[in-house]
Amino acid sequence: MVLPKIKYPIHEFEIPTTGEKIPFRPFLVKEEKLLLMAKESGDTVDILKALKQVINNCCLLENFDINELSLLDLEYLFLKLRAISVGDIVEVSYKDKDDDEIYKFNINLNDVKVVFPENIDKNIKVNDEVGIILKYPSASLLSDTDILNSNKDAFYEIILKCIDKVYDAENVYECKDIPKNELEEFLDNCGLKTFEQIQKFFINLPKLYYKIEYTNKNGKNRIIELTSLMDFF
């Protein structure tokens, strides 16, 4: 006797940073096990790696490469999968430091937005002829040994991984083809104003956004802004 095969509904989600639409199925018991194991570890990196595996499992697109997604895309897609797999309402609680009370709120995950900061350019000019084109941090960084082992230099390593192209008046250089030591030398020889522009790009990355407004027991109006995946669980 052969047990029946279970059919699942197919949902199409739009990738925030590219606009591409990709089909997914809900996550199942096997994916829930992955998430529970990661949650029990209490380690943020383990949790994000589990989310990466769940999203990869649920994607129905052939030749899908999850490492091409940005970390923001990863967070957004998991919220969407959570909504269709478990339910679109989650309860979060916060302790108000003013009145020392714990407040609970129900959040509809479908109301969570993606906010792209204004006037932030991926194209960073080094001088009149030379420039850098940056890309958003990708999901591949969660398993990148250079970053995981870098300790205090993690931000520097992330910048290196997020330099997509370098160009001058005559050529465009794909940085995936450039040896790391050459890229390090190039970055180290950039001026401080250039590095400040690079830092500004990373400080103002697009993010998830949901605002909670309430009045506490002392009659004070309060605002809570949720801006990362961990804020919702």
Same structural domain for residues 31 and 102?
yes
3-state DSSP call for residue 227?
coil
Q: Report if pTM > 0.75.
A: yes
pLDDT in tens, 32-82: 998 888 888 877 778 888 899 999 999 999 999 998 899 999 999 999 999
- What's the DSSP call for residue 64? -
With tokens 């830092």, the residue in question is 199
Same structural domain for residues 150 and 63?
no
Same structural domain for residues 94 and 196?
no
Residue range(s) defining the domain that contains residue 134: 123-203
* Mean pLDDT within 183-212: 95
3-state DSSP call for residue 198?
helix
* Mean pLDDT within 120-135: 94
Q: Please report the pLDDT score of residue 89 as a whole number.
A: 95
State how far the Cα of 74 lies from the Cα of 231, in Å rounded to an integer: 15
In 99-206, DSSP assigns E strands to: 102-108, 113-115, 123-125, 131-134, 163-167, 172-174
Same structural domain for residues 49 and 98?
yes
User: Which of 34-38, 105-109, 208-212, 225-229 has the least mean pLDDT?
Assistant: 34-38
Same structural domain for residues 58 and 41?
yes
pLDDT in tens, 68-115: 899 999 999 999 999 999 999 999 999 999 999 999 999 999 999 999
The answer to whether residue 217 is domain-embedded is: yes
Banded model confidence at residue 222, pLDDT cuts 50, 70, 90: very high
Same structural domain for residues 33 and 98?
yes
Q: Are 139 and 67 in contact (CB under 8 A)?
A: yes
State how far the Cα of 101 lies from the Cα of 104, in Å rounded to an integer: 10
Number of domains in the chain: 2
Same structural domain for residues 193 and 131?
yes
Same structural domain for residues 22 and 103?
yes
